[in-house]
């Protein structure tokens, strides 16, 4: 591949100190070493519902970085949430501090952020609604009023 056809894509990230040093490592990756996998966890996921949460996996040979996209005025940035090794999710700042093992990224976000999201999406994961859901795939339930108003 010629240097003219290779493009560097900056990945702005509000990350911990360990990941800040790894931004240079990300920049050194060859295009074939990095793949990007977007996910939108949703209440209409089947067979298992998840709280609504957009995430992106930056997949590398050393492990995967799980980030949350954030829209800012005229740009998009990412906030690092965890580092994934196989199905084990660890803190960004320390690979020795792990949250546990999860079947997929949406199971991790439910574990990590579900308690905060439950107040805004009541019924999203309730057992009674699981069998009787009338939500078509891809649709979200109406969010509840914020309890903080």
Tens-place pLDDT, residues 94-142: 878 999 999 999 999 999 999 999 999 998 987 544 444 445 554 545 5
Q: How far apart are CA 56 and CA 38, in angstroms?
A: 4
Closest CA to 84 of 48, 44, 57: 57
pLDDT greater at residue 117 or residue 148:
117
Q: How far apart are CA 129 and CA 16, in angstroms?
A: 38
Cα–chain-centroid distance for residue 50?
12
- Kindly state the helix (H) or strand (E) to which residue 132 belongs, with its residue range: helix 127-132
Which pTM value belongs to this model?
A: 0.67
Q: How far apart are CA 90 and CA 49, in angstroms?
A: 23
Note the pLDDT of residue 1.
Answer: 41
Least confident of 21-35, 38-52, 54-68, 109-123: 21-35
- Relative to beta strand 53-60, strand 35-41 is antiparallel
Beta bridge partners of 60: 63
């Amino acid at each position: 591949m010629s240097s003219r056809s290779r493009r560097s894509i900056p990945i702005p990230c509000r990350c911990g100190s360990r990941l800040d040093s790894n931004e240079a490592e990300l920049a050194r990756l060859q295009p074939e070493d990095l793949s990007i996998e977007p996910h939108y966890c949703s209440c209409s996921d089947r067979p298992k519902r998840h709280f609504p949460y957009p995430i992106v996996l930056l997949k590398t040979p050393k492990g995967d970085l799980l980030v949350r996209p954030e829209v800012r005025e005229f740009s998009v940035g990412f906030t690092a949430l965890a580092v994934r090794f196989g199905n084990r999710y660890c803190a960004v700042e320390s690979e020795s501090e792990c949250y546990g093992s999860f079947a997929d990224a949406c199971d991790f976000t439910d574990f990590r952020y579900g308690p905060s999201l439950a107040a805004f999406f009541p019924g999203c994961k309730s057992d009674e609604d699981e069998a009787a859901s009338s939500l078509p795939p891809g649709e979200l339930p109406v969010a509840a009023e914020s309890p903080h108003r």
